[in-house]
Structure 1
Amino acid sequence: MQSSEDPAFFSFGDWTVRPSQRSIERQDERVVLEPKLIDVLTYLAGTGGEVVSTEQLLAACWRGTFYGDNPVHKTMALLRKALQDDARSPRYIATVRKRGYQVVAKVAFADARERATVSRRSWNDGSPFRGLLAFGSDDRDVFFGRARATAELLRAIRRSDADGCAFVLVAGPSGCGKSSLVQAGIVPALLGEAGHDGLRATAWTSFVARTPTSPLVDTLAGALCRWAPGGRPVFVDSERPALGKALVNDLDFVIERIEREVPAGNGRLLLVVDAMEGLLTQASEQVTATIAALDRLARSGRVIVLGTCRNDFYPQLMAIPGLLALKHDGGSYDLAPPTQGEMAQIIRLPARAAGLHFGRDPHGERMLDDVLLEAACRHVTALPLLQYTLQALYEAKDEDGTLTFAAYEAMGGLEGALAQRAERIHDSLDARAIRAFPRLLHRLVAVAGDGDGVTARTVRWIDIDDDEQHAVRQLIDARLLVSLLEDDEPCFTLAHEALLRHWPRVAEWVQTHRADLRARARIAEMAARWSTEGQRREHLIPRGQLLADAKRLSREAHPPLDATQARFIGLSLRQARFTMMTLAGMAAAIAVLALISTFAAVNARKAERHAEARRADAESLLDFMLGDMNERLDALGRLDLLDEVTHRAMQVMGGHDWKSDAPDAVLRQAKALREIGEIRFARGDSDGAIEAFQNADTSLVHLVAGHPDQAEAYAERGKLAYWRGQIAFGRGKTDETAKEWNNYLEQATLRAKLEPDVPDAWLELSYAHNCLGSLAQRTNHAEDATREFELSSSLKRRVLGMQPTDRKTWLELADTMGWEASVEQQRGKLRDTLSHYMQEREAVLAARESGDPTNLWLYRRALADLHVARAHADLGMVVQAESDYTAAATTFAQLVRDVPDNRKWQRDLALTRSQQGWLAYGVGDTALALRRYADAGDMLQKLLAVDAKVSDWRTLLAVNRTWESMAHLRMGELVPAAAAVNEALGLFGDVPATAASNRVLRALADMTAGEIARQQGDAGTASTHLDRALTELRPRAEKSTDPRVLDPYVRVATLLGHQDEAAPYLERLRQSGYRSPAFEMFVNHSNQGKIQ
């Protein structure tokens, strides 16, 4: 039995209820409830003893689908049986005749507040709603719906404090209520007389990390000066300058002062660092010093440090030196959006406390709170919109305190309230303010330099001109902006970041200016680092799109770049020109040296030694270009820079006697050809790559025939076989792939026998097994795949035993773990799949080098994030999946911006965007899903314009179009739905029987086409598509445990009315833990008879 410390619990009479475990307990009894029973019990517990109608329960727990009240009656009977309650003499839940149900048991939640004490008119301080503002510490009496999160976070704080590092980072989507949870939930709980479970704070302070009014350390110092336990300040305000210096240079002084003012046993001081994503825009030395200070404070035994951050910035935050270790030793808490039951409390209980009533729809007889609840539950980011709408309804309430339907409809409902009000305010601005508005947006809006996240800035009044000040005053009066004091400096910022997403005028402006905002942010960050770290050349902007953007911004930016940034860009441009001249010079040097040696050899026998020396110089330079420089540029993803140089070198080699009978010369030439092939492949020229690989292999065949003990020749032949197989694999030619990769295995085995003590030989052999495993998996030979992956993994671990700190081997082991995870997914072992992918990510992190991460490592981390995201999504863990997808997309986008010619990175970014769309579709955000599909489609079409033969790209686009069609179908848009799925079917074409996974994906497209035809009234076409999909999927599903097969099969069987046939396969999915949001929505709709 769990301890009462479990955070997700509340008491219900003499029972302890644990929603997260779906169980109720008392003494030695424990009963596990069905999901619907625990939902109803949790909802009733939060109603404060009010009578709840069956309609309310249907709206809250059955998603507002009204099909009679029998499900409620049946559920209540089962719930009473589990509680051992008696309807005639109730101890827990009473039936109120003709009205509904009422909780009569005493209910206490984990934050020690009894909901039964919420009574009408217990709040008399104006509106119980906060609009776009966060709830504060004085708003506890109207802060509802977060009892579970409060208890869980309090437990995390207590645990981190007990472990000696009292730091907890609260992460969650924008608008999920992080600041409100901390200020109205945690702060009052810890500051209460008894504190929480023995942990008590005597004073608290906070600061916002994105504040730009002073250096970050000085902002922290200002916050610490506001600590005053018992009215006695720990640091007086006059000490602020000295305290700022001490936080950098003398933390012992800071801690000694705190220990003197707050003796052991006298409670804790609480420090809240809000919006920690703002650290990403601050100077690196300030961030480093601030994190070091927070770390020391959290480990002092006197201070609790709480941070909040948006989870889309979480990966970048964890790259800040020191913060990852602080979070690891302390703790973190992922705040999910409110559940339906919690959302019902957020809507109803503050209104009850303030004596407000919800009106009834005069046409449909629905209550306004039910309508609000249903609208809020459609979107995971609805909380700011809901609070704003409730505040607007409060302002428009009638004389008896009723929030009316008329007001709700007039403001455009939940989605329209904020946008309509904001647009109305904008239109009311005078001409002077309207002209200044775009300039204000440039100041208020920040886009992270290495991601897509949009945040609000805090701006100082002294930094804006008179026209802007005029506009700001009007916007503050209208409550779209808020004025605040930061470090005694008057500032302003957006009332809530929801304005950036839900005000179309601003959202469109951000989209239009996103590239410039991102480029400007990255340039500012890089320039600050360059300036503070000795203005070293390696910190200048490398060649690429960012440098081009910097050049343009240096001429056109408004407001203009500062002097440091302008000089930084000027030096970066100068270095880029110098680099190009150097590369050109090196290429020319190779040619000149080779020509000199050739000329000398042909025209003067007496100069043979001199020519040999020149040739050796040329060969050495070529070795450098294809060795050290190649590795460095490969880590940056910039192999294209070597393309022209290598071509020139090979032209020289082709016309020169390079002693082709000498093994070293043959190997050098073969390696050069392989490098050319890799570069051409990376740039989408598969045919050119094959030509280079084949020429290299031809020279090596003759070498091996004459020198069978040449281990390096076998190594090169194996690599060439790998690349030929990779190209065939990408084109869907599985037989050719198998031939090449078995050749790869043969060559690698021969090399390992010749070099048993060389780690790289065993590593190459592991690669060959990994390739064959991936091919076996692609062709649905799971046992063969498992065997090959296990062999590959054991060989890599053997290499790590020989060189345990080798980062390259850790990355390769991560790759194999990823393949092992994909096999577990085919077997339907989704928890094991997630575990393997988490191990893959840990192995990638183990390969992290000191200093700035290379592009290669960033790519592997993004790939691991993408794998974990999909595994989380399959298990229905939406919040975690969204966070991991965002991390992957952010990193892929950064890589593509840095190296626009890398097709592999473009492909993976497109895949991530498409999967983000599928997740959005599953949680009901169809508009976002369509935007994601459009982004992915654009990227994939550009790739196919480079090389239309790559079947992998065609398949990804086909799947994307299929999902896009499903989204249009949900919205009732049959014409674009049909166009999208027809394009998908055209892209799939005639899929070979050996391409099993593609045939399953084509069946999904057929199923979608059948749904569309059915809705268009074309029964014949619908039957053709659906029967073809069923025929394809049925034999595959019979022996399969793979959700990628079972999911579409259950769908198509259900659409054809074969529910009994689908039932055992649905159960197979349930047993595997498969809870993909899109599939769950389909099943729910099918149960309700409204499949779409």
Structure 2
Amino acid sequence: MGRAEKPLDPDAGPLPRFAHGLRELRRIAGSPTYRAMAARAGYSAPTLSGAATGERLPSLPVTLAYVEVCGGPREEWERRWHALADALSARPVAADDDEPAPYRGLARYGTEDGALFFGRDQLVADLVALVREHRFVAVVGASGSGKSSLLRAGLVRELRGLGERDGRPAALRICTPGPTPLRTHAALLEPVPGDADTVLVVDQFEEVFTLCRDAAERAEFIGRLLPARAPADARPADGPRLRVVIAVRADFYGRCTDHHGLVDALNAATLLVGPLSPEQVREAVVKPAAAGRLVVERALTARIVADVAREPGALPLMSHALLELWRRRRSRTLTLEAYEAIGGVQGAVAHTAEEVFAGFTARRTALARGLLLRLITPGEGTPDTRRPAARAELAGSEEAEQVLEALVRARLLTVDGTGVDLTHEALITAWPRLRDWVEGDRERMRLQRRLTRSAGEWEELGRDPGALYRGARLLAARDTFLTADGPAPDLTPLEREFLTVSVRTGRFVQPALVRLRRFVRSRWWLVFRLAVLCAVVLWTVWFLNRDHP
């Protein structure tokens, strides 16, 4: 009969219960040895034995082969297998599982994640060599190509590992421009005193175009970066130096040509980041799992390679799918069944997001909609981009705060200090619900961005009445954001007050403007103009014919 199997408790969970049922079939069939079963089933004895351990769900073909050689009902066990597969695929690992995930989902790989960053070895080496050779380097690639991870888990980690004789920097600094790049990061633009260079990494450089509205500050910030390109003999030999690395989205590369000095810098040293090759995708899937002592089914690896390889912008979607597979792992195995259950690479983000929204009431869904749309800047001739916002701008009530926390727990949003951001721009296109919201509210979003800026400027100017909305802007804002019940609920307290005061002030001005407009359109306007013309003619005749001394 062979070696005795470990006892199973069918009440310990669905997997042990399934395996216990298989063992019962074998017992009823007379307890044949697994070697004898293998001769009839076409699968090896260890494979059939492993199907009844209760540690993981066997594949459907193996299950059916086991059932058939034991004389069990095939259709019934096929239904049981699919039901269990669906349950396991939809069930994340318990929240108290403190085992670290080997994948980062939509979040970028940080400087501490270098041990899990695979598939970009050659690109990292090329970037390090470029940075050591040039003082100003640009990294250009599509959204989702992994530029941020390349900088942090690749470049920064490698530079920190250099010896002093190999050119280790005196300091490594990382920033994103934000709406006020010069005022926010002025201190980072000063190199650390000493012989070694200071390396400044400016990630998401496109924010100088999408978030910074002050053209003068934008130009000055760029101007402060460019001196890093000065040749060594342009500064004292013992003076501190700055090396700059910027990462910019490919669709904003053309905007860089607006600055002449930036064009010269980009022409001198630019690294293009493309999609992963099939072999690089395989590394990015399998090697982090191996580091976490996990197994990835070969069929799953092949499927992900087919879905992702050479696809621009697919890396965050792949990483998110892998994280969800890790949360739904069977014992220590990532499975193809779970991958298909979450919709694959393209559907994983939407699957996660919709799981969150399934628990929202209609009111919380509306709050989430307003919150998410505030974190997006609608493109004007360019793709939509994410827009970081202050937490105070998003969570104006206890319920809004709870909605925000739910989206953060689902890794759809990232909180950094007091700021909130979409975890990745891939959300905008990969999540149908959000994509439809953006398309339906595009013009309203543009008006709201302007209202947010105008309200902030009004506050900065001490609530100067001259900064209030008037004319066409007031009418557009009033028609869009004022309802019978007052200002729209998704406005912040400052925006509501700004709009209310603008409308109240506008009421005193509007009647006079309306009377003037009506007068201009009436027949009395023609009479008035004729009277003025006659007066001018009479005065001219009098002036020409008066007596001169």
Partner amino acid, structure 2, of 1:501:
T
Q: CA deviation at 1:422?
A: 1.6
1:172 aligns with 2:141: yes
Closer/same/farther in 2, CA of residues 380 and 580 from structure 1, 3 Å limit:
farther
Q: CA deviation at 1:388?
A: 0.9
- Whether contact under 8 Å (1:175, 1:381) holds in the other structure is yes
- Whether contact under 8 Å (1:169, 1:327) holds in the other structure is no
Closer/same/farther in 2, CA of residues 186 and 592 from structure 1, 3 Å limit:
farther
Q: CA deviation at 1:280?
A: 3.3
Match of 2:404 among 472, 484, 494: 472
Aligned residue in 1 for 2:368: 437
Partner amino acid, structure 1, of 2:431:
W
Aligned residue in 2 for 1:186: 155
Q: Hey, what's the Cα distance between the residues in 2 that align with 1:595 and 1:315?
A: 56
Match of 2:199 among 265, 269, 273: 269
Closer/same/farther in 2, CA of residues 469 and 173 from structure 1, 3 Å limit:
same
Match of 1:374 among 294, 306, 329: 306
Closer/same/farther in 2, CA of residues 599 and 508 from structure 1, 3 Å limit:
same
Deviation per residue, 1:413-447 (Å, 9 max, x gap):
22222211221122134787546423432443343
Aligned residue in 2 for 1:328: 263
Q: Hey, what's the Cα distance between the residues in 1 that align with 2:320 and 2:242?
A: 35
1:135 aligns with 2:109: yes
Partner amino acid, structure 1, of 2:172:
W
Deviation per residue, 1:941-968 (Å, 9 max, x gap):
xxxxxxxxxxxxxxxxxxxxxxxxxxxx
1:405 aligns with 2:324: no
Q: Hey, what's the Cα distance between the residues in 2 that align with 1:158 and 1:146?
A: 18
- Whether contact under 8 Å (2:199, 2:245) holds in the other structure is no
Closer/same/farther in 2, CA of residues 593 and 159 from structure 1, 3 Å limit:
farther
- Whether contact under 8 Å (2:278, 2:310) holds in the other structure is no
Closer/same/farther in 2, CA of residues 374 and 273 from structure 1, 3 Å limit:
closer
Closer/same/farther in 2, CA of residues 310 and 589 from structure 1, 3 Å limit:
farther
Aligned residue in 2 for 1:1024: none
Q: Hey, what's the Cα distance between the residues in 2 that align with 1:180 and 1:479?
A: 17
TM-score w.r.t. the length of structure 1 is: 0.33
- Whether contact under 8 Å (2:109, 2:153) holds in the other structure is yes
Q: CA deviation at 1:590?
A: 12
Q: Hey, what's the Cα distance between the residues in 1 that align with 2:106 and 2:151?
A: 16
Match of 1:220 among 139, 161, 185: 185
Match of 2:357 among 409, 426, 431: 426
Q: Hey, what's the Cα distance between the residues in 1 that align with 2:504 and 2:140?
A: 39
Aligned residue in 2 for 1:207: 175
- Whether contact under 8 Å (1:432, 1:471) holds in the other structure is no
Q: Hey, what's the Cα distance between the residues in 2 that align with 1:456 and 1:385?
A: 20
Match of 2:491 among 552, 556, 559: 559
Alignment of 1:305-344 (within 5 A): 305-314=244-253, 324-331=259-266, 332-344=270-282
Deviation per residue, 1:271-299 (Å, 9 max, x gap):
43446426633462765664455456776
**Higher relative helix content:** 1
Report sequence identity in percent. 26
Q: Hey, what's the Cα distance between the residues in 1 that align with 2:116 and 2:515?
A: 64
- Whether contact under 8 Å (2:378, 2:385) holds in the other structure is yes
Aligned residue in 1 for 2:13: none
Deviation per residue, 1:193-217 (Å, 9 max, x gap):
248x955323223233348xxx655
Aligned residue in 2 for 1:391: 323
SS at match of 1:330: helix
Q: CA deviation at 1:559?
A: 0.9
Deviation per residue, 1:599-637 (Å, 9 max, x gap):
99xxx9xx89869x9xxxxxxxxxxxxxxxxxxxxxxxx
Deviation per residue, 1:479-533 (Å, 9 max, x gap):
3333322xxxx44333323222222222222222221111222344467679989
Aligned residue in 1 for 2:12: none
Aligned residue in 1 for 2:448: 520
Partner amino acid, structure 2, of 1:185:
G
- Whether contact under 8 Å (1:448, 1:454) holds in the other structure is yes
Q: Hey, what's the Cα distance between the residues in 2 that align with 1:461 and 1:526?
A: 17
Q: CA deviation at 1:460?
A: 2.0
Partner amino acid, structure 1, of 2:344:
G
SS at match of 1:518: helix
- Whether contact under 8 Å (2:103, 2:322) holds in the other structure is yes
Q: Hey, what's the Cα distance between the residues in 2 that align with 1:198 and 1:584?
A: 80
Deviation per residue, 1:1039-1079 (Å, 9 max, x gap):
xxxxxxxxxxxxxxxxxxxxxxxxxxxxxxxxxxxxxxxxx
Partner amino acid, structure 2, of 1:209:
P
1:503 aligns with 2:431: yes
- Whether contact under 8 Å (2:386, 2:421) holds in the other structure is no
Match of 1:302 among 241, 244, 247: 241
- Whether contact under 8 Å (2:386, 2:422) holds in the other structure is no
Counting matched residue pairs gives 424
Q: Hey, what's the Cα distance between the residues in 1 that align with 2:504 and 2:131?
A: 49
Q: Hey, what's the Cα distance between the residues in 1 that align with 2:272 and 2:475?
A: 39
- Whether contact under 8 Å (2:176, 2:207) holds in the other structure is no
Partner amino acid, structure 1, of 2:148:
S
- Whether contact under 8 Å (1:129, 1:387) holds in the other structure is yes
Partner amino acid, structure 1, of 2:325:
L
Q: Hey, what's the Cα distance between the residues in 2 that align with 1:532 and 1:407?
A: 52
Aligned residue in 1 for 2:92: none
Q: Hey, what's the Cα distance between the residues in 1 that align with 2:253 and 2:148?
A: 16
SS at match of 2:437: helix
Q: Hey, what's the Cα distance between the residues in 2 that align with 1:527 and 1:472?
A: 23
Unaligned runs of 5+ in 2: 1-98, 231-238, 545-549
TM-score w.r.t. the length of structure 2 is: 0.62
Closer/same/farther in 2, CA of residues 209 and 570 from structure 1, 3 Å limit:
farther
Match of 1:281 among 205, 208, 211: 211
- Whether contact under 8 Å (1:171, 1:311) holds in the other structure is yes
Closer/same/farther in 2, CA of residues 368 and 341 from structure 1, 3 Å limit:
same
Q: Hey, what's the Cα distance between the residues in 2 that align with 1:156 and 1:592?
A: 77
Match of 1:550 among 471, 477, 484: 477
Deviation per residue, 1:836-863 (Å, 9 max, x gap):
xxxxxxxxxxxxxxxxxxxxxxxxxxxx
- Whether contact under 8 Å (1:483, 1:493) holds in the other structure is yes
Q: CA deviation at 1:450?
A: 7.8
Alignment of 1:359-758 (within 5 A): 359-360=297-298, 367-377=299-309, 379-399=311-331, 401-429=332-360, 433-434=364-365, 436-447=367-378, 453-460=384-391, 464-485=396-417, 490-525=418-453, 548-553=475-480, 555=482, 556-557=487-488, 558-559=490-491, 561=495
Partner amino acid, structure 1, of 2:296:
F
Partner amino acid, structure 2, of 1:465:
S
Partner amino acid, structure 2, of 1:390:
L
- Whether contact under 8 Å (2:111, 2:156) holds in the other structure is yes
Closer/same/farther in 2, CA of residues 534 and 407 from structure 1, 3 Å limit:
closer
- Whether contact under 8 Å (1:127, 1:394) holds in the other structure is yes
Q: Hey, what's the Cα distance between the residues in 2 that align with 1:350 and 1:216?
A: 36
SS at match of 1:421: helix
Partner amino acid, structure 2, of 1:220:
H
SS at match of 2:162: coil
- Whether contact under 8 Å (1:283, 1:528) holds in the other structure is no
Aligned residue in 1 for 2:72: none
Q: Hey, what's the Cα distance between the residues in 2 that align with 1:535 and 1:335?
A: 47
Q: CA deviation at 1:187?
A: 1.0
Unaligned runs of 5+ in 1: 1-124, 225-253, 361-366, 614-1092
Q: Hey, what's the Cα distance between the residues in 1 that align with 2:516 and 2:503?
A: 19
